[in-house]
A and B are shown apart, each in its own frame.
Chain A
Amino acid sequence: MQQATDLGAGHADFRAEQIRSQTIGLSDGNLETLFDAGDIGLAVRVVVDGTWGFASAVDLTPDAAAQAAREAVEVAKVSAAMNTERIELAPEPAHGDVTWVSAYEIDPFDVSAADKTALLADWSKRLLTRDGVDHVDAHLLQIRECKFYADGATTATQQRVRLHPALTAVAVEKNGRFETMRTLAPPVGRGYEYLNGTGWDFEAELEQIPALLAEKLAAPTVRPGRYDLVIDPSNLWLTIHESIGHATELDRALGYEAAYAGTSFATPDKLGTLQYGSPHMRVTGDRTAEHGLATVGYDDEGVAGQSWDLVTDGVLSGYQLDRRMAALVGLGRSNGCAFADSPRHMPLQRMANVSLQPAEGGPSTSELIAGVEDGIFIAGDKSWSIDMQRYNFQFTGQRFYKITGGRLAGQLRDVAYQATTTDFWNAMEAVGGPQTYVLGGAFNCGKGQPGQVAPVSHGTPSVLMRGIRILNTVEEGA
């Protein structure tokens, strides 16, 4: 940082990171993939005469850091010819020398790969012995992320752990038709205790999978049309991610992702007036939820983790910000959404945990279903796609049940739902109570160029939506 300042940088910040990951994959109980990776490096980001410069290095030495600082300044000077917008950063209180560690009990890297493989093999073989299961895929991805950040005002040392187990059972009929059924267990900011039953009952879920798969394979195909939907958190988290999470990123709304990830219909001129959804809708952003995948103590610009509203009583009320975006539109302090996925990448505004809040004293999922005469209950995520302004989306799922007269009446297949974001959320008639709330999420939210991935969680209760368009995916492909 001294080198950068000496060369004319008005702002300099430094990160050193060590990221450990391990991927285990089994096919029909046999080991297919075992990959143990470690990534280490440092990064220097500068602002020189109002222009960004960024450089990284793999050696964690003072010489390498000084060289990276010189390169970052050079990059800023080469880039100055293209810059017409002076970089300013929103102020953040100094937090001094701070340490933060995520909530977990057992570091997954303290458990041998052999033990983890044996557990996945046991689960796989239990599924394979059941009638109608022809193949089983089992995957376990684990990450331990250690970051050191310094900008002269804040020095943050942090560590967090996350893991994602998933098992998929496959059934193949002699006529060539096949179906799959995947576990609904979400990725979490927990340790290996998650696989031992803390936070999820894998034993119970695995027991149900074969029967669910057999029922899906024999299910009737859906008749396309408009239906009332009850959507389980295991499906709705992804719809929230795509249609609210990304739409309320201010850098998108201002056009900074226009050429790649896209923009947003929820532009700043609509802040406080856009009727995003029904009055039942309150959506928050946070980097503080326990076990959340986007939860941190401090972000990659030294901003402390916070919680705030994005949609209040159905109206757009906030954005996700980093320090540059906050300064650009005069929104005051950043709410701490800067993140870089590796020391080789410059931080971007990335998604907080964006969650739909449950209704205090609200209904159970069964009570929501009881309010539907002719509809569909959807659980589990699968296919997803949304347009570049976050209007038009299409999702499928793991399980679709016909609802008749307020009761589940067996599975359907070939189902996709398609809607425009504000139409969808304004069709939300009821929000489930806290007893239905589950934190879902993903490890691999993509954004930016060069491409970066970020982990993020989305909490949601079950919800009741009226009159949503359902497609038959076989007819779509005919």
Chain B
Amino acid sequence: MNQRPQDMVEQALSLATCGDCVVIADETSTANLRWAGNTLTTNGVARSRRLTVIAIDRRGPGAAVGVVSRSGVHGDEVEAIVRAAEKEAAEGSLAEDASPLVDPSPGPFGSIVSGRPGWDDPAESTGIGVLEGFAGQLGDTLREASSSGRKLYGYAEHDLTSTFLGTSTGLRLRHDQPTGKVELNAKSDDLTRSAWAGEATRDFADVDVSALDRGLADRLEWARRRVDLPAGRYETLLPPTATADLLTYLYWSAGAKDALDGRTVFSRPGGGTRVGESLTGMPVTLRSDPWLPGLACTPFVVAHASGRDSSVFDNGLPLGPTDWIRRGELAALTQTRYSARLSGLPVRPAIDNLIFEVDAPGAPSMAEMIARTERGLLLTCLWYIREVDPQTLLLTGLTRDGVYLVENGEVTGAVNNFRFNESPVAMLGRLAEVGASVAALPREWGDYFSRVAMPPIRVEGFNMSSVSQAS
């Protein structure tokens, strides 16, 4: 596999005989370490290259599409992939999202490709070496935990994906995306007390696993006093990771096409969407920005296949700062150019990061919010979140790895876990306080969506539906 991915894109485009063509090459490398009970369990490095050819057969105003995607492609296999995609397009039925391909001239957010690496620069990769310093530090931490009566479990992963996108209309775009995360779970020796922390990172240079462990050791101490509480509705402090999990699901559920069909919480009864409606009285904003320092992500659309909220015809469309909720009001739903034609609303493709913040000076920290709590629950994170009712976006799930009782401004003990039934949309209407946003790792969705900045939030009457015996 000596051919460069960008050369494969050019080769595929030059071989294409269909009306229009989009070619995407993804060069991915990854390295990971996993540990449990203070010892290594699995590890690995892997590389892959995927070539995706999207052949478009124009038929008057419509078009049929064939998408063929293969990994491990050699140069002498490119033509077969192009021909297979063209055959699928020629034999296929009309695509509902047919649109012209994206114009290569600079879009509304300016030139999409900026600085280095450029189109012709070699694809970059990661490897086990990125984790070498971390592994040594982790080894020390595992030994320290072992000698202190704690068991550590967790996972560290670093990925690097170089994406090359070319179209028959002349667009050439490239983006390199580093993604990393570390998760650490500490348990008491008898496994009755548990705490968790996670961080997203771009390069592991900023990860201090020893500090994470110290924070978890403090939480295990909090849990020495156990308080059993029944199911019910509680004033609840959600840390940024829990806020992230609930609002990420809200964001994923904010597709315009389903809303237009009348089958989401964002559908307006009688037709249309709820864009423009107030969701909360708090001046909060939910937004994405591919250029945000520290959370930067692909600044153009990469769609390997069309779906409810994606269109292969939109490949290369520039992305820019987008408000989904602006000062409490639903400002936009995720839109392809196709769904935008149906809705009459602006095109707003999904973006791979999410920021939730309050527009108020002096937003408090988590510690300050605990200090001003008379009586309430403090969560560590949420788990096994699933949709129960799309009508209200009711979600169910569990609290995990530490629920604490806060009384008169202090943590006074650990509480049993709960199953919750809550809608993040309804929850916005019961926000009592929103803290300062910080970078966070969603516990539940971090495998797929790790670039977020979220605040701690105080929610009135969070519905703890039943007690979970899990510890």
Contacting pair A33 B39 (CB below 8 A): no
Query: Does B71 reach chain A (CB closer than 8 Å)?
Result: yes
Stretch at the interface among B235-243, B267-275, B294-302, B350-358: B267-275
Mark out the residues of chain B between 414 and 471 whose CB falls within 8 Å of any chain A CB in the assembled complex.
Answer: 417, 419, 421-423, 426, 447, 463, 465-471
Once the chains are docked, how many angstroms separate the CA of A145 from the CA of B196? 37
Interface string of A383-422 (1 = CB under 8 A from B): 1111111011010100000000000000000101010100
Once the chains are docked, how many angstroms separate the CA of A53 from the CA of B128? 11
Contact of A31 among B46, B92, B184, B392 (CB under 8 A): B92
Interface string of A65-93 (1 = CB under 8 A from B): 00000010011101111111100000000
- Contacts A392-B419, A394-B419 given: A449-B44 contact, CB under 8 Å? no
Query: Does A306 reach chain B (CB closer than 8 Å)?
Result: no
Stretch at the interface among A22-30, A98-106, A290-298: A22-30
The minimal Cβ–Cβ distance linking B24 to chain A, given in whole angstroms, is 12
Query: Does A36 reach chain B (CB closer than 8 Å)?
Result: yes
Contacting pair A177 B1 (CB below 8 A): no
Contacting pair A418 B422 (CB below 8 A): no
> Which of B43, B155, B426 has most chain A Cβ within 10 Å?
B43
Q: How many residues of B are in contact with the other chain, CB < 8 A?
A: 102
Query: Does B388 reach chain A (CB closer than 8 Å)?
Result: yes
Please give, as numbers and ranges, the residues of chain B lying within 8 Å of A54 by CB-CB distance: 42-45
- Contacts A35-B305, A54-B42 given: A420-B469 contact, CB under 8 Å? yes
Once the chains are docked, how many angstroms separate the CA of A59 from the CA of B2? 10
Query: Does B148 reach chain A (CB closer than 8 Å)?
Result: no
Once the chains are docked, how many angstroms separate the CA of A477 from the CA of B463? 8
Please give, as numbers and ranges, the residues of chain B lying within 8 Å of A41 by CB-CB distance: 48, 71-72
Stretch at the interface among B102-110, B163-171, B217-225, B395-403: B395-403
Once the chains are docked, how many angstroms separate the CA of A259 from the CA of B270? 46
Please give, as numbers and ranges, the residues of chain B lying within 8 Å of A39 by CB-CB distance: 70-72
Contact of A79 among B43, B68, B187 (CB under 8 A): B43
Contacting pair A84 B34 (CB below 8 A): no
Query: Does A229 reach chain B (CB closer than 8 Å)?
Result: no
Query: Does B49 reach chain A (CB closer than 8 Å)?
Result: yes
Contact of B71 among A52, A58, A394 (CB under 8 A): A58
The minimal Cβ–Cβ distance linking A165 to chain B, given in whole angstroms, is 17
Contacting pair A389 B470 (CB below 8 A): yes
Stretch at the interface among A152-160, A168-176, A207-215, A459-467: A168-176
Contacting pair B43 A389 (CB below 8 A): no
Query: Does B95 reach chain A (CB closer than 8 Å)?
Result: yes
Query: Does A146 reach chain B (CB closer than 8 Å)?
Result: no
Query: Does B66 reach chain A (CB closer than 8 Å)?
Result: yes
The minimal Cβ–Cβ distance linking A339 to chain B, given in whole angstroms, is 14
- Contacts A33-B305, A78-B128, A175-B269 given: A392-B41 contact, CB under 8 Å? no
Contact of B70 among A37, A74, A118, A396 (CB under 8 A): A37
Please give, as numbers and ranges, the residues of chain A lying within 8 Å of B88 by CB-CB distance: 34, 36, 113
Stretch at the interface among A181-189, A351-359, A468-476: A468-476
Mark out the residues of chain A between 448 and 464 whose CB falls within 8 Å of any chain B CB in the assembled complex.
Answer: 448-451
Once the chains are docked, how many angstroms separate the CA of A60 from the CA of B1? 10
Once the chains are docked, how many angstroms separate the CA of A260 from the CA of B447? 11
CB nearest to B91 among chain A residues: A114
Question: Main SS of the interface on chain B?
Answer: strand
Query: Does B409 reach chain A (CB closer than 8 Å)?
Result: no
Total residue contacts A-B, CB cutoff 8 A: 291
Contacting pair B388 A392 (CB below 8 A): no
Contact of A389 among B35, B447, B471 (CB under 8 A): B471
Contacting pair A174 B270 (CB below 8 A): yes
Contacting pair B39 A82 (CB below 8 A): yes
CB nearest to A178 among chain B residues: B263
Query: Does A265 reach chain B (CB closer than 8 Å)?
Result: yes
Contacting pair A477 B72 (CB below 8 A): no
Query: Does B177 reach chain A (CB closer than 8 Å)?
Result: no
Query: Does B291 reach chain A (CB closer than 8 Å)?
Result: no
Interface string of B125-149 (1 = CB under 8 A from A): 0001001100110110010001000
Please give, as numbers and ranges, the residues of chain B lying within 8 Å of A79 by CB-CB distance: 33, 40, 43, 135
Stretch at the interface among B6-14, B366-374, B379-387: B379-387
- Contacts A30-B94, A58-B48 given: A385-B306 contact, CB under 8 Å? no
Please give, as numbers and ranges, the residues of chain B lying within 8 Å of A51 by CB-CB distance: 40
Interface string of B171-193 (1 = CB under 8 A from A): 00000000000011101000100
Once the chains are docked, how many angstroms separate the CA of A265 from the CA of B191? 12
Please give, as numbers and ranges, the residues of chain B lying within 8 Å of A56 by CB-CB distance: 44-47
Once the chains are docked, how many angstroms separate the CA of A106 from the CA of B227? 59
Contacting pair B46 A82 (CB below 8 A): no
The minimal Cβ–Cβ distance linking A414 to chain B, given in whole angstroms, is 8
CB nearest to B271 among chain A residues: A174
The bracket for how many chain A residues form the interface is: 35 or more
The minimal Cβ–Cβ distance linking B199 to chain A, given in whole angstroms, is 14
Please give, as numbers and ranges, the residues of chain A lying within 8 Å of B383 by CB-CB distance: 262, 387-388
CB nearest to B156 among chain A residues: A449
Query: Does A190 reach chain B (CB closer than 8 Å)?
Result: no
Once the chains are docked, how many angstroms separate the CA of A340 from the CA of B210? 32
Query: Does B280 reach chain A (CB closer than 8 Å)?
Result: no
The minimal Cβ–Cβ distance linking B365 to chain A, given in whole angstroms, is 26
Contacting pair B36 A383 (CB below 8 A): no
The minimal Cβ–Cβ distance linking A222 to chain B, given in whole angstroms, is 13
Query: Does A334 reach chain B (CB closer than 8 Å)?
Result: no
Contacting pair A84 B69 (CB below 8 A): no
Query: Does B67 reach chain A (CB closer than 8 Å)?
Result: yes
Contacting pair B305 A34 (CB below 8 A): yes
Contacting pair A383 B387 (CB below 8 A): yes
Query: Does A32 reach chain B (CB closer than 8 Å)?
Result: yes
Query: Does A135 reach chain B (CB closer than 8 Å)?
Result: yes
The minimal Cβ–Cβ distance linking A23 to chain B, given in whole angstroms, is 7
The minimal Cβ–Cβ distance linking B401 to chain A, given in whole angstroms, is 8
Contacting pair B388 A476 (CB below 8 A): yes
Query: Does B214 reach chain A (CB closer than 8 Å)?
Result: no
Interface string of B296-325 (1 = CB under 8 A from A): 000000001111100000000000000000
Contacting pair B46 A55 (CB below 8 A): yes
Query: Does B84 reach chain A (CB closer than 8 Å)?
Result: yes
CB nearest to B139 among chain A residues: A81
Contacting pair B35 A32 (CB below 8 A): no
Please give, as numbers and ranges, the residues of chain A lying within 8 Å of B139 by CB-CB distance: 81-82
Contacting pair A450 B1 (CB below 8 A): no
CB nearest to A18 among chain B residues: B72
CB nearest to A420 among chain B residues: B469
Contact of A391 among B96, B142, B388, B470 (CB under 8 A): B470
Query: Does B394 reach chain A (CB closer than 8 Å)?
Result: yes
Query: Does B391 reach chain A (CB closer than 8 Å)?
Result: yes
> Which of B33, B34, B447, B468 has most chain A Cβ within 10 Å?
B34
The minimal Cβ–Cβ distance linking B144 to chain A, given in whole angstroms, is 13
Contacting pair A391 B384 (CB below 8 A): no
CB nearest to A54 among chain B residues: B44
Contacting pair A34 B267 (CB below 8 A): no
Once the chains are docked, how many angstroms separate the CA of A34 from the CA of B303? 12
- Contacts A79-B43, A134-B262 given: A30-B96 contact, CB under 8 Å? yes
Contact of B391 among A30, A178, A257, A260 (CB under 8 A): A178
Query: Does A8 reach chain B (CB closer than 8 Å)?
Result: no
Please give, as numbers and ranges, the residues of chain A lying within 8 Å of B467 by CB-CB distance: 392
Once the chains are docked, how many angstroms separate the CA of A234 from the CA of B64? 36
Contacting pair B68 A36 (CB below 8 A): yes
Please give, as numbers and ranges, the residues of chain B lying within 8 Å of A272 by CB-CB distance: none
The minimal Cβ–Cβ distance linking A369 to chain B, given in whole angstroms, is 26
CB nearest to B143 among chain A residues: A84
Interface string of A111-149 (1 = CB under 8 A from B): 011100110010000000000001100000000000000
Q: Identify the 6 closest CB pairs spanning chains A and B, nearest first.
A: A176-B269, A58-B72, A259-B153, A172-B262, A54-B44, A35-B305
**8 intermolecular pairs with C-beta atoms under 8 Å apart:** A38-B70, A40-B71, A71-B45, A71-B128, A134-B262, A388-B383, A418-B465, A449-B183
Which B positions have Cβ atoms within 8 angstroms of A? 1, 30, 32-49, 64-72, 74, 84, 88, 91-97, 128, 131-132, 135-136, 138-139, 142, 146, 151, 153-155, 157, 183-185, 187, 191, 196, 257, 261-263, 267-270, 304-308, 383-392, 394, 396-398, 400, 417, 419, 421-423, 426, 447, 463, 465-471
